[in-house]
Amino acid sequence: ANSGSVGESVDYKITGIDPGAGIMKATANALEEYELSDWELIEGSGAAMTASLKKAIDKEEPIVITGWTPHWMFSKFDLKYLEDPKGVYGEAEDIHSIARKGLAEDLPGVYKVLDQFHWTPDEMGVVMSSIQDGTSPEEAAASWVEENADKVAEWTKGAENGNGDKVKLAYVAWDSEIASTNVVAKVLQDLGYKVTLSQVEAGPMWAGVADGSIDAHIAGWLPLTHADQYKKFEGQFEDLGANLEGAKTGLVVPEYMDFDSIEDLK
Ligand code: PBE
């Protein structure tokens, strides 16, 4: 297909996710940088995006989505990132754990676990795929924690028990973060903490940690994806560093689409 027909074939629409996601901002930038003024970025959700992706792939129809790694979609479907010669989506990203100020003093055990929490994209992938296969996030997290006791012991090493102390974690309903947040919640519960998970948008997630109404989140995509929030609230949270290395975002299409670069969308 020539490049003109790529746009026509998908009605010049990119299937996006929740408007607060950093990848939406990056994609808006990509439309400008690559001069794709005919194109529209459609808002939705992670779940709606993967449903559209599955529908398209079942019929071998064209689709362009905002995608990211780690994500189960890459093990379920044959997909490729479009090349991004202008580097709009940045280099590899890390996912950081972000704590409210004062957490180390108020809940040192929680702080320690969050500080020690670190895993690989493959480990996260196991939990994500299990959830995708129909296991509830709580159960998928519990199984992973049970089967990875050695790893979990590294995270909880030296951490005080909770004795029923309350902890509030926030997350956004992105598949990667549903997996990670449920795993950390389970680990904290097993240590004796009472954990509340609140599902919010990306803005409130960062704002909540900054104003102290949320104890922590483990969904800080840096240095690029959440750069705006990081800058906006800098000094009002504690960055505990990366809990996962080698994340990535970009525009993603099925392998059967016969072009390879964002430049070909023009
Ligand atoms: N994501 C997944 C998020 C971070 C985690 C790439 C969709 C985003 O803010 O874009």
Whether 202 is in the pocket of ligand 1, judged by its Cβ within 6 Å, is yes
Question: Across the strands, what pairs with 138?
Answer: none
Q: Please give the mean pLDDT across all residues of the chain.
A: 97
Q: 89 near 68, Cβ under 8 Å?
A: no
Give nearest CA residue, ligand 1 atom 4: 221
Question: Across the strands, what pairs with 239?
Answer: 98
> Which domains are present in the chain?
3-91+249-265 (3.40.190.100), 93-246 (3.10.105.10)
What are the pLDDT digits (tens) for 103-121?
Answer: 999 999 999 999 999 999 9
What is the reported pTM?
0.95
Say what the pLDDT of residue 4 is.
Answer: 57
Whether 174 is in the pocket of ligand 1, judged by its Cβ within 6 Å, is yes
Task: Name the E strands within 92-215.
Answer: 93-100, 166-171, 194-199
pLDDT surpassing 60 at residue 91: yes
Distance in Å, CA 161 to ligand 1 centroid:
32
Q: Which atom of ligand 1 is nearest to the CA of 177?
A: 5
What are the pLDDT digits (tens) for 140-163?
Answer: 999 999 999 999 999 999 999 999
Average pLDDT over every residue of 186-198: 98
Give nearest CA residue, ligand 1 atom 2: 174
Say what the pLDDT of residue 160 is.
Answer: 96
How far is residue 144's CA from residue 161's CA, in Å, rounded to a whole number? Answer: 21
Whether 90 is in the pocket of ligand 1, judged by its Cβ within 6 Å, is no
pLDDT surpassing 50 at residue 243: yes
Euclidean distance between the first and final Cα of the chain, in Å? 13
Whether 22 is in the pocket of ligand 1, judged by its Cβ within 6 Å, is yes
Distance in Å, CA 174 to ligand 1 centroid:
7
Split at pLDDT 50, 70, 90, the class of 180 is very high
Average pLDDT over every residue of 70-88: 97
Say what the pLDDT of residue 1 is.
Answer: 45
Residue to probe by mutation, ligand 1, list 221, 222, 244, most atoms within 8 Å of CB: 221
185-189, long-range: CB within 8 Å, 24+ apart, which pairs? Answer: 185/141, 186/138, 186/141, 186/142, 186/145, 187/113, 187/117, 187/145, 187/152, 187/155, 187/156, 188/110, 188/113, 188/162
What are the pLDDT digits (tens) for 33-60?
Answer: 999 999 999 999 999 999 999 999 999 9
Count Cβ atoms below 10 Å from residue 157 Cβ, excluding itself.
10
Say what the pLDDT of residue 5 is.
Answer: 82
Percent of the chain with pLDDT over 70: 98
How far is residue 226's CA from residue 216's CA, in Å, rounded to a whole number? Answer: 15
Percent of the chain with pLDDT over 90: 97
Whether 181 is in the pocket of ligand 1, judged by its Cβ within 6 Å, is no
What are the pLDDT digits (tens) for 4-15?
Answer: 589 999 999 999
Split at pLDDT 50, 70, 90, the class of 183 is very high
Question: Across the strands, what pairs with 62?
Answer: none
Residue to probe by mutation, ligand 1, list 225, 226, 228, 251, most atoms within 8 Å of CB: 225
Distance in Å, CA 9 to ligand 1 centroid:
26
Whether 21 is in the pocket of ligand 1, judged by its Cβ within 6 Å, is yes
How far is residue 146's CA from residue 190's CA, in Å, rounded to a whole number? Answer: 11
